[in-house]
Every structure is written in structure tokens, then in C-alpha cells.
């Protein structure tokens, strides 16, 4: 307690997550005061809205407010934020029925996605009230009798000279004229997202790329080959700073990919998720050119085979994350080739492929950099496969085995025995999995999503005894879990924040006991049949826990 406050601030900030401040704040008044001043982010729920003013007083140094979970009129609260002259950096007001009034001259980021009745007057008001904006998201508004037009974007762009990123996805009535307005006025633009904008063409995006010298990231889902394809291609060479390209859900040719290769960009991230028409020849030319690529998404590229991926792996020496989900021809050979040949690989996504369909005997190599494996939907995946993964990926932290119906506690146990860093585990619909198969502590496991799995009372007892730092537990549709097992988890898992018991056979009478027994709980989705009254919900909420309808 004799440490200076600035030392404590360094220590607390090193925790990396503001949610970890809570137990520290209970130690002493000094640490409580320090954590109050260090909190920068606040997500407002519907139940917390009446306490909004108290929360603003309690945390004086907030930088980011998120109202996206609130459906009531928030105008009054935003006016209060403005009156307090808070030094906000980021504000999220998504999912509102109407665009709320807000004014903050210093705001840097505004997210207002899925706003009802968004219109020209609203985007103009944004520009006038928040002239310092650098990031703006007005994506996917709910249309009725109003919409944002090119005129609105023009008037907005005239006032937002500092804009660096804009997302106008889902604004179906915007045309290339809007991109011309952004190009002419927002000279600092670095990132553009124009997914699902049917009236915006390759011509407009090509002009923007040629004029926006700072442009580093473009996402333009749904772009197709058209007569102006050559014009579009040639402008990739003019966007010298472009390092991230997302062309998901587009109709592309090998010639188009070759034109990107010829552009000699600083490409780091490239996504062709669910694209059509290109072949191994085109992607091979591109990857050979950009061997410094770090993130690659080839989801649903169904022409890919094990043989082609073995060949492409030669060009993936710098890849950190790769997505090969829904590539139905890929098997164990591709997976273990990537683990062996990609020394910097951190994340592999191979959901709904053919993993487990065959045994793979080629020499393997331990890769200590692999931290995340997303292998959901591979019905042929076996315990033997998991045992091999456990040996080759000892630093694993995130594992998704949802809908891998053949795995049992034998395979999971081997993973957890060899990979003690696992903090996030998903076993949705793994009905043969009754237990985690361990008799040792897992101090790092924080998230266990076990919806519709075979977990039973013995399984919950294992979790209670060995996963005491668990934060999130989802037991939705777990028909084998019992009230006794849940009691053990609540008593032993001292950091538990959220638990989902929907469609389980747990006794509804346990809910109130859980709220008062485990003070760390912040959200409970109770078993079906439990519907708390308004007074009960308020009472539970005053104890720090949101109890939803069962």
C-alpha cells in the first residue's frame, strides 16, 4: 500500500482488461479510488440506464461509451454527456430506433450502425456536431420512408476533413458520387468499407483508390467482373499504401488477381471469402508475389485440395492467420502441413472441412506459435487427431470444436493436459463429451461454451474443482446437468461473471441463491420457466447481477 499511485496505475493497466479491476478494487479504499480513475470504457445496459448519471460521476475519466444495448430514448443521457464536457474519444449509439441527438466537438469515433430512419439531415448533423471525427460507421440503416443520399454524404464530407475511416455498408441508394465526395474532401482517408452497396461500382472505387494516397484498407464485398474491370484493376497500382483488401462474395477472375500481383502493393491482409470464378492458378500467382502476407482468407474456395495447399504453403512463411473454412476437399494433410511449414502461424480456421477423414503420416513439427484453432463442424474429427494437436501446439489458447460429434473426454483431456494455456474452449453439440477428462487445475481457462453438449454432474464437478478462474459458462440445452453440479460450480468458481442455464433441467429456485452466493456474477440466463418480476430484477440488479428472462 506504500507504492505511489502511478506505480499502482502501471500494475493495474498491465492486467489488460478493465473487468479485472473489480476484485482489486475490493482490497482497499486506495485501490478503489485508483480503479475508478483508470476506467476508460463503459457499456450501458438497459437496466443500468437509470443509474447513468451516477456512473458518470463514479468514473470521471471515461473515454468510450457504448449505448448499443439500450433501446429506450437516450437523447437525454447524451445531452447530459455533452453538458458535462466529458473528454470522450468514442461513442457507440447503434441499434437506436431513431438517430439520437449528440454533440461532442472532440469526439474521434462515432458508431451508429443499424439506426432506424437514418436520413441526410442526420449525417449532416453528425458532421456539424462532431467535426473532429476520424472514424464514422453509418452502416446498415433500417429503411422505411427515409434514407441517406449522395447529397447527404456530400454535405457531410465537406465538414469532416479529418476523417480516416468510414463504413457506409448497406446504404443501398448511395452511388459513385458519394465516393467522389469523400475522395475530394477527406484527404486523410485510410480505410473504406462499402459492403452491400449495390449502386457503387468498380469505377467509383477505382477513382477513390487513385486519388486517396493514404488509403491502406478497402473492403468491398460483392464486386463483380464488368466491362470496366480493366479500369478497376489498373488503379490498384496507384494505391501504393494499400495493405488490406477484402473482396468477399465477389465474382473474380485469375486475370484480376494477377493485376493485383503486378501492382506491387504493401499487402498484409487479403480476403477472398466466398468468392467465385478464380482458380488455383490465380491465387498461386498472387501468393508467390506477396510472400510477406500475414492474414489470408480463402473461405469456401472449394477448388483447393491438399496437394494445392501443400504447394501454396511454400509462399506462406509470414502468415499469422489463415481461414480455409468450408473448403470441403481439405483434410488432415493440409492442417499438419500448415503447422509444419508456417513458422509464424498463430491462428488456423478450418471449419466444416474434411478434417479427420484420413490418417496422416508425414513428419510433423512442433509449432509453439499456434494460439487459436477453429475446427468446428468437422464431424469426422477424432480423439486421435486431438492427441496429435496436443503435441504439436503446446501454446494453444483458443479451441473451437463445436459440432465435432466424434470427440470424447479422452481427446479433450489430452489437449488440456498438454496445453495448459487454454483460456477459451467451445464444445457446442459435442454430445459424447460428458466430462473434460482432467484431474488437474486449469488456472487459465476463462470461457467454456458447452451448449447442447453431453456435460453431466460429474463433468460440472470436474469444472468446479479444476477451473476456479472460469468467467463465462454456457450450459444452454445441456439436459444432463443437475442443480447439484451447478451449485458446485457457483461455489468454487470464485470469478464467475456469466452463466447460461436456458433449456437445462436445473431447478429455477437456484437463481436467487446464485446471485447472493457468488458476488462476481454479472449476468444469469436462468432455466426456462423462471421469469423474474420487475421488482425481483431490480433487486438482483442492485446486487450487481442482471437476471434475464428464462
User: Domain of 89: which CATH number?
Assistant: 3.80.10.10
Strands 191-193 and 295-297, by their bridges, are unpaired
pLDDT of 227 reads: 40
Residues 6+ apart with CB under 8 A from 230: none
pLDDT of 361 reads: 60
**What percent of the chain has a predicted confidence (pLDDT) above 70?**
96
DSSP state, residue 95: T
53 and 140: one domain? yes
Strand spans (E) along 177-323: 191-193, 217-219, 244-246, 269-271, 295-297, 321-323
pLDDT beyond 90 at 47: no
Read off the pLDDT of each residue in 210-228 and give the average, rounded to a whole number.
Answer: 78
pLDDT beyond 90 at 233: no
pLDDT of 311 reads: 97
pLDDT of 424 reads: 98
Three-class secondary structure of residue 336 per DSSP: helix
- Whether residue 160 is contained in a domain is answered as yes
Cell numbers for 361:
503420416
Residues 6+ apart with CB under 8 A from 298: 272, 273, 283, 304, 322, 323, 324, 327
Cell numbers for 318:
509470414
Read off the pLDDT of each residue in 109-119 and give the average, rounded to a whole number.
Answer: 93
What length does the chain have? 550
Cell numbers for 460:
460440472
Closest CA to 265 of 242, 244, 296, 289: 242
CA distance readout (Å), 354 to 189, 359, 404, 425? 42, 12, 11, 21
Helix ranges restricted to H, 427-528: 457-466, 483-492, 510-517
pLDDT of 349 reads: 98
26 and 154: one domain? no
Helix, strand, coil % (nearest 5) of the chain? 35, 10, 55
pLDDT beyond 90 at 274: yes
Phi (first) and psi of residue 111, to 5 degrees: -110, 115
Three-class secondary structure of residue 236 per DSSP: helix
- Whether residue 324 is contained in a domain is answered as no
Domain of 176, in residue numbers: 40-200
- Whether residue 278 is contained in a domain is answered as no
122 and 186: one domain? yes
Strands 217-219 and 295-297, by their bridges, are unpaired
> How many CA atoms within 13 Å lie on the side-chain side of 415?
29
Residues 6+ apart with CB under 8 A from 430: 401, 402, 403, 404, 405, 407, 450, 453, 454
54 and 158: one domain? yes
Phi (first) and psi of residue 113, to 5 degrees: -80, 150
User: pLDDT tens-digit profile of 418-436?
Assistant: 999 999 999 999 999 999 9
| Cα dihedral 393→397→401→402 (10° resolution) | -170
pLDDT of 168 reads: 97
Count how many domains the chain has. Answer: 3
Question: Alpha-carbon distance 478 to 500, whole Å?
Answer: 10
pLDDT of 308 reads: 97
Contact (Cβ atoms closer than 8 angstroms) between residue 214 and residue 183: no
Count other C-beta atoms under 10 Å from residue 533's C-beta. Answer: 8
**pLDDT, averaged across the chain:** 91
- Whether residue 470 is contained in a domain is answered as yes
Question: Alpha-carbon distance 415 to 399, whole Å?
Answer: 10
- Whether residue 113 is contained in a domain is answered as yes
7 and 111: one domain? no
Read off the pLDDT of each residue in 341-360 and give the average, rounded to a whole number.
Answer: 91
Cell numbers for 130:
462532431
pLDDT beyond 70 at 72: no
Closest CA to 131 of 153, 88, 163, 172: 163
**Which has more confidence, 423 or 2?**
423
30 and 46: one domain? no
- Whether residue 542 is contained in a domain is answered as yes
Cell numbers for 545:
447481477
pLDDT of 362 reads: 58
pLDDT band at 45 (very low <50, low <70, confident <90, very high): confident
Read off the pLDDT of each residue in 273-283 and give the average, rounded to a whole number.
Answer: 94
Which residue has 468467467 as its cell numbers?
Answer: 471
Range of lowest pLDDT (192-196, 423-427, 533-537): 533-537
pLDDT band at 235 (very low <50, low <70, confident <90, very high): confident
- Whether residue 305 is contained in a domain is answered as no
Read off the pLDDT of each residue in 219-228 and give the average, rounded to a whole number.
Answer: 66
pLDDT band at 133 (very low <50, low <70, confident <90, very high): very high
Question: Alpha-carbon distance 32 to 35, whole Å?
Answer: 5
115 and 138: one domain? yes
96 and 67: one domain? yes
Phi (first) and psi of residue 77, to 5 degrees: -70, -35
Read off the pLDDT of each residue in 404-430 and give the average, rounded to a whole number.
Answer: 96
CA distance readout (Å), 186 to 208, 232, 278, 368, 432? 11, 21, 34, 43, 56
Residue 99 forms beta bridges with which residues? none
33 and 74: one domain? no
Q: What angle do the packed helices 150-159 and 176-185 form, to 10 degrees? A: 10
pLDDT of 113 reads: 95
15 and 104: one domain? no
Count other C-beta atoms under 10 Å from residue 383's C-beta. Answer: 18
**Residue where a domain stops, chosen among 141, 171, 200:** 200
> How many CA atoms within 13 Å lie on the side-chain side of 303?
11
Three-class secondary structure of residue 449 per DSSP: strand
Read off the pLDDT of each residue in 168-178 and give the average, rounded to a whole number.
Answer: 94
**Residue where a domain stops, chosen among 200, 226, 252:** 200
Residues 6+ apart with CB under 8 A from 325: 299, 300, 349, 350, 351, 352, 353, 374
pLDDT band at 550 (very low <50, low <70, confident <90, very high): low
21 and 159: one domain? no
**Residue where a domain stops, chosen among 168, 200, 232:** 200
> How many CA atoms within 13 Å lie on the side-chain side of 205?
31
Which residue has 466466398 as its cell numbers?
Answer: 274
Contact (Cβ atoms closer than 8 angstroms) between residue 73 and residue 100: yes
User: pLDDT tens-digit profile of 475-485?
Assistant: 999 999 999 99
Dmax over CA atoms of the chain, in Å, equals 72
112 and 149: one domain? yes
Question: Alpha-carbon distance 430 to 432, whole Å?
Answer: 6
pLDDT band at 204 (very low <50, low <70, confident <90, very high): confident
pLDDT of 264 reads: 87
- Whether residue 144 is contained in a domain is answered as yes
Question: Alpha-carbon distance 354 to 351, whole Å?
Answer: 9
Cell numbers for 466:
479444476
CA distance readout (Å), 166 to 160, 243, 455? 11, 17, 45
pLDDT band at 222 (very low <50, low <70, confident <90, very high): confident
pLDDT beyond 60 at 228: no
pLDDT beyond 90 at 350: yes
pLDDT beyond 60 at 225: no
Question: Alpha-carbon distance 96 to 118, whole Å?
Answer: 10
DSSP state, residue 353: S
Question: Alpha-carbon distance 10 to 12, whole Å?
Answer: 6
Phi (first) and psi of residue 84, to 5 degrees: -75, -5
pLDDT beyond 90 at 367: yes
Amino acid at each position: 500500500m506504500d507504492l505511489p499511485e502511478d506505480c499502482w496505475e502501471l500494475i493495474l493497466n498491465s492486467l489488460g482488461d478493465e473487468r479485472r479491476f473489480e476484485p482489486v478494487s475490493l482490497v482497499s479504499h486506495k485501490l478503489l479510488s485508483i480503479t475508478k480513475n483508470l476506467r476508460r470504457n463503459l457499456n450501458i445496459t438497459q437496466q443500468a440506464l437509470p443509474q447513468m448519471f451516477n456512473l458518470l460521476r463514479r468514473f470521471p475519466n471515461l473515454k468510450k461509451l457504448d449505448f448499443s444495448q439500450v433501446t429506450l430514448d437516450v437523447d437525454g443521457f447524451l445531452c447530459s454527456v455533452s453538458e458535462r464536457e466529458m473528454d470522450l474519444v468514442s461513442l457507440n449509439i447503434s441499434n437506436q430506433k431513431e438517430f439520437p441527438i449528440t454533440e461532442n466537438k472532440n469526439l474521434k469515433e462515432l458508431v451508429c450502425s443499424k439506426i432506424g430512419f437514418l436520413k441526410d439531415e442526420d449525417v449532416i448533423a453528425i458532421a456539424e456536431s462532431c467535426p473532429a471525427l476520424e472514424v464514422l460507421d453509418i452502416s446498415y440503416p433500417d429503411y422505411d420512408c427515409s434514407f441517406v443520399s449522395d447529397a447527404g454524404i456530400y454535405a457531410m464530407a465537406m465538414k469532416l476533413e479529418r476523417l480516416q475511416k468510414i463504413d457506409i455498408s448497406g446504404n443501398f441508394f448511395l452511388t459513385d458520387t458519394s465516393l467522389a465526395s469523400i475522395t475530394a474532401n477527406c484527404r486523410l482517408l485510410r480505410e473504406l468499407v462499402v459492403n452491400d452497396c449495390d449502386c457503387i461500382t468498380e469505377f467509383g472505387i477505382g477513382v477513390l483508390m487513385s486519388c486517396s494516397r493514404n488509403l491502406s484498407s478497402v473492403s468491398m464485398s460483392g464486386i463483380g467482373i464488368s466491362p470496366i474491370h480493366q479500369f478497376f484493376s489498373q488503379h490498384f497500382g496507384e494505391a501504393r499504401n494499400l495493405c488490406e483488401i477484402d473482396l468477399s462474395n465477389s465474382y473474380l477472375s485469375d486475370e484480376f488477381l494477377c493485376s493485383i500481383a503486378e501492382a506491387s502493393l504493401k499487402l498484409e491482409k487479403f480476403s477472398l471469402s466466398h468468392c467465385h470464378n478464380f482458380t488455383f492458378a490465380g491465387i498461386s500467382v498472387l501468393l508467390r508475389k506477396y510472400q510477406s502476407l500475414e492474414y489470408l482468407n480463402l473461405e469456401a474456395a472449394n477448388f483447393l485440395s491438399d496437394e494445392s495447399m501443400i504447394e501454396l504453403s511454400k509462399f506462406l512463411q509470414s502468415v499469422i492467420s489463415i481461414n480455409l473454412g468450408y473448403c470441403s476437399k481439405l483434410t488432415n494433410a493440409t492442417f499438419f502441413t500448415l503447422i509444419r511449414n508456417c513458422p509464424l502461424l498463430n491462428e488456423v480456421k478450418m471449419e466444416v472441412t474434411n478434417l479427420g477423414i484420413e490418417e496422416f503420416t508425414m513428419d510433423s513439427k512442433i509449432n509453439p506459435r499456434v494460439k487459436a484453432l477453429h475446427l468446428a463442424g468437422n464431424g469426422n474429427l477424432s480423439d486421435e487427431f486431438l492427441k496429435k494437436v496436443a503435441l504439436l501446439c503446446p501454446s494453444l489458447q483458443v479451441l473451437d470444436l463445436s459440432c465435432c460429434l466424434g470427440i470424447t473426454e479422452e481427446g479433450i483431456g489430452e489437449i488440456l493436459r498438454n496445453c495448459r494455456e487454454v483460456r477459451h474452449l467451445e464444445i457446442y453439440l459435442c454430445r459424447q463429451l460428458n466430462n473434460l477428462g482432467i484431474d488437474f487445475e486449469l488456472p487459465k481457462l476463462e470461457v467454456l461454451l458447452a451448449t447442447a453438449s453431453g456435460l453431466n454432474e460429474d463433468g460440472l464437478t470436474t469444472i468446479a474443482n479444476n477451473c476456479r478462474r472460469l468467467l463465462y459458462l454456457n450450459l444452454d440445452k445441456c439436459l444432463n446437468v443437475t442443480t447439484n453440479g451447478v451449485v458446485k460450480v457457483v461455489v468454487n468458481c470464485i470469478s464467475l461473471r456469466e452463466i447460461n442455464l436456458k433449456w437445462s433441467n436445473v431447478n429455477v429456485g437456484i437463481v436467487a441463491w446464485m446471485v447472493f452466493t457468488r458476488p462476481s456474477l454479472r449476468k444469469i440466463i436462468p432455466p426456462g420457466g423462471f421469469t423474474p418480476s420487475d421488482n425481483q430484477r431490480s433487486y438482483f440488479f442492485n446486487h450487481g447481477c442482471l437476471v434475464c428472462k428464462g
